[in-house]
Amino acid sequence: AQKITQTQPGMFVQEKEAVTLDCTYDTSDQSYGLFWYKQPSSGEMIFLIYQGSYDEQNATEGRYSLNFQKARKSANLVISASQLGDSAMYFCAMRESSNLRSSASKIIFGSGTRLSIRP
């Protein structure tokens, strides 16, 4: 069964520093996708970045990058030059995708990491 683990319930980081949010996953599927979402205090879910299991390069989107280590089954989110507006909950998520019409096509989420940026 697929599973996402985020071991950092909360983190405090100084503004302008880089921060790494950990995510490990478990799946028996060879084909899967990994996602990161941000949830600010207002409650909406904001998509940040995607990494496919066959992608050879780590995904990047502006200040966000995904440190993908397939053998370790980890997909850590790196935020460079953190800003006060980065304070939020961050969720790692996964979709198994070898059969998109099957029950494995659902997206599951980790428990999240609350990131607080200090001025």
Interaction site with other proteins (CB under 8 A): 6, 9, 31-33, 35, 43-45, 47, 50, 52, 91, 93, 95, 97, 100-101, 103, 105-112
Q: CB under 8 Å to 80, separation ≥6 — which residues? A: 18, 63, 65
Shortest reach from residue 80's CB to other proteins, in Å: 21
Q: How far is the CB of 87 from other proteins (least distance, A)?
A: 16
Residue among 117, 67, 63 at smallest CA distance from 92: 67
Nearer to other proteins, 42 or 119 (CB): 42
Q: How far is the CB of 16 from other proteins (least distance, A)?
A: 28
Taking the least distance from each CB to other proteins, the nearer of 43 and 119 is 43
C-beta of 57 vs 119, nearer to other proteins: 57
b/e code 77-106 from CB counts within 10 Å (16+ = b): bbbeebeeebbbbbbbbbbbbeeeeeebee
CA distance 18 to 16: 7
Minimal distance, residue 107 CB to other proteins, in Å:
6
